[in-house]
Amino acid sequence: MRPTWPTALSDFAEGVAHLVWPPHCLACAAPTAADHFCGDCVSALTTDHPHRCQFCAGTVGPHADAAGPCLRCAKSKFAFGSAVRFGLYADAVRRAVLAMKEPQGELLASRLGELWATHRRAELLATRPQVVVPVPLHWRRRWSRGYNQAEELARGLARALQLPLAARVLSRRRATELQTHQSATARWDNVKGVFAVRSPASVRGLRVLLVDDVLTTGATCHFAAAALLGAGAAQVHAAVVAHR
């Protein structure tokens, strides 16, 4: 598959940068001979609790029913069929999520997506996704930040899994308050009906892997998934870097 221009230019720029500055870990900035992440950060980022709910990706006890929803999401009727995560929103994963939202975090997000795909490949492909779709930012927030961290995560993930990326299929109808500033109940009202599908033909009849950085109540992924299903997607499954 021929690389797209944004990907090719990004890879070229990264190669030039390595000629000028020694490689360093994108997560902790320590010098490293490895690609993108040092060994300590790879270990910290890829270590997760072994028992997770398949419906919301939350941590559950060792004796929980793996076939059913956990106690936290049993009353929720999510539009997405299942959810997988890279880790818990703590320590190295939390630091990476916060760093991705900084002006210099674009490359970190893309390479973290690749690392995620490498270490969680079986989980990510379990639902046999056919296209990867990121949760969008409103255009004003994207403009102020310079990029969408969920889109860069999805780009790295799709590249490593060799799946097509539909980066701009979803859009936000209106600007919303940051979910981190909302109560659990208000999070649902904040994003209800906010997502629209620009090109239904891009997802019609397909199994979609919906990518975001953090899942807390599941509201954002739920309404994004509902919009995709309403546009004709066959299934939507969520993939998040962290469960909070």
Inform me whether the pLDDT recorded for 4 exceeds 50: no
Helix (H) / strand (E) element for 167: namely none
User: Which of 73, 61, 82, 78 lies closest to 124 in space, CA to CA?
Assistant: 82
Backbone phi, psi, residue 228, to 5°: -65, -40
CB atoms within 10 A of CB 1: 6
Q: What angle do CA 94, 47, 223 make, to 5 degrees?
A: 55
pLDDT at residue 15 in the model: 57
Would you identify the CATH topology of the domain 48-243?
Rossmann fold (3.40.50)
Confidence of residue 42 (pLDDT cuts 50, 70, 90): very high
- List the chain domain ranges: 48-243
Confidence of residue 5 (pLDDT cuts 50, 70, 90): very low
One-character DSSP codes across 61-75 = -TTS-TTS--TTTTT
Q: What is the pTM of this model?
A: 0.87
Confidence of residue 1 (pLDDT cuts 50, 70, 90): very low
pLDDT at residue 226 in the model: 97
